[in-house]
Structure 1
C-alpha cells in the first residue's frame, strides 16, 4: 500500500465525522460539477444501517484536525471517496484507492468500484490506476415550470403514500426489481428502514406506492426532498423507482413519477430529478417525458 504524504494522518471515522465528510464531498462536487449532489442526510442514513460497520469500512485522512480526504466501502463492492480540491496532487487519492482495495479484499470482495463524474480528476485518476468502466449513470432533471404528462392508472389501481403495513411489501418490490440487473446482495429490510424510513428529514408522504385491484403494492417510488438543490431552491429527487415484474407495461412508473413530483411541489420543491444507469435501459423513457441530463457519471472498478 502507498504511503500518505508527510504530516497527514489517518483513522477510521465515527458518526460525528459525518458533517466533515459531507463538507469534503460537497466541496469536491461543487468544484467538479458546479453543483452539489450529496446531502448530509445521505451520509447519516447510510452510516446508520445495521449492516454497515463504520469502524472497519471507513477511513479519514486528516491534516491536523481537518478532514482532507475520506473513503468507505459499502456492501460487497461499492466504494466512495473524496479529496478536497485544494489537496489534490499530493497522492491522497491514490492512497485512498489502495485503502479501498484492501478493505474490499478483507471483506471478501473480488472487485471494488466507485462512481465518479465522467471526465473529472477522480475519473482520470482511477483510469490511470487501471480501473475500467462498469456502467454509466445519468442524473436527469425536470426543468422548473414543466410537468410530465399524466398517465391514467388502470381501473382499480390507486396511488398514494404507503401505509406502515405496506413498508415491507414496498421494500420487496424495490429489491426484486433492482436485483434483476444489479449484481449485489439483497438489502436487508433493517437497512431499508435505517436508510429510508429513519433517514433524517424523512416524512411518510415520501414513500409512494401504486396498489393493484387486490390492494397489493405494484410500484414504488422513494422521494427525497433536498432543501437546497440547484440554485439553492428545494428539489425533489426520486431515489428509487420500481414496478413489479407482472405489472409492467401499464404506465404505473410514469403515473408514479407524476404523483411523486406533484406531491414534492406541494412541499416546496422547485425542480425534480432522478438518476438511472446503463444497466436499466430507462434513459430513453425519462428523456421522452421531458427530463434532461444534467450530469454523467461512470462507475469505475478494478479486480482484486
Structure 2
C-alpha cells in the first residue's frame, strides 16, 4: 500500500476585507501519495495559489489540518516549523519577480543552504550549488550571471534549483510554466518529471492549463471559488467528467482540427458568485445550466460517484 505523504483535512483560509470575509480556500480535503502528483486546476481566483501557499504556511490557515508524514504542521510554532521547512518547498509562477535581481545565480541557489545552515563551510556550499545546477541543466558558466541576463527558461531552472537544493520531499509548483514559451514549457515539465523520478518528489501542481495538468498529474482536483468541486485520477477526469464546471473547462481546450470548429461547446453564462461571505449552496449554480432550486440552498459535499472519483454535483447531467 502506498504511503500518504500529505493529508489535508477541512482546510480553510479566509481573508478579512472591508466588505466581509473572503473565502479563498473553503473546507478543502485531499491526500497525496508519496512520489505522486496532485494537479489543481480552475479559473483565476478559484483559490489554487492560496491553497499552495497555505500548505507551506506562507499564509496562516484559518482552520483545518495539514498532516505531513503523519504530523499536523498547521499547529506548529515558528521554531518547530523551521525544522520541517527544508522538506516543503515551492516553485513560483514568475521566475523573474521571484528572484533577487541583485544576486548571481550562484548566490541565489546558495541562499537556502546558508539560511538553513545545511553546509559546514563555503566549499560544501559551492559543491552543492554546482551539483544542483548540473541536475537542473544550468551550465556552470552561468554561475556568476544575473537573472536579467538569462531567458525565462533558465530563470525558471534557477527557481527549480532553489526549491530542490535542500532535498525536499514535497514541492508546490505554482503555475511554473505559465510565463514561459510553449517550447520552453515542455522542457521544464519534462525536467520536473525526471527530477520527481530521480529524487522521489511529491508535487502539488497548480495550473489553469488542462493540457499541462494531464501530462504531469496522477490525480486532478478541480476548484471553483475556494471549493473542491471534483477530484479523480487524471485519466478518469478527462474520460468521464461529472461536474458541469469540469465539463466546461474540458470543452474550452483548443483542438487543432477543422472538424472541431463545428463541435458544440459548453458555454458558461451568468455572473460569477462573490467569494466574500458566500451564501449556502453550490457556488457554481449561478452559471450552471443544470442548476435546480436545491442547488442554491443546501451544502454540496463531495460524493464518491465511482471508485476514487468524487464530485460535488447532485445533478450530474
Indicate the TM-score class for this superposition, using the shorter chain for normalisation. under 0.3
> Larger relative CO (CA 8 A, sep 6+): 1 or 2?
1
Q: TM (normalized to structure 2)?
A: 0.24
Q: TM (normalized to structure 1)?
A: 0.25
Higher strand share: 1
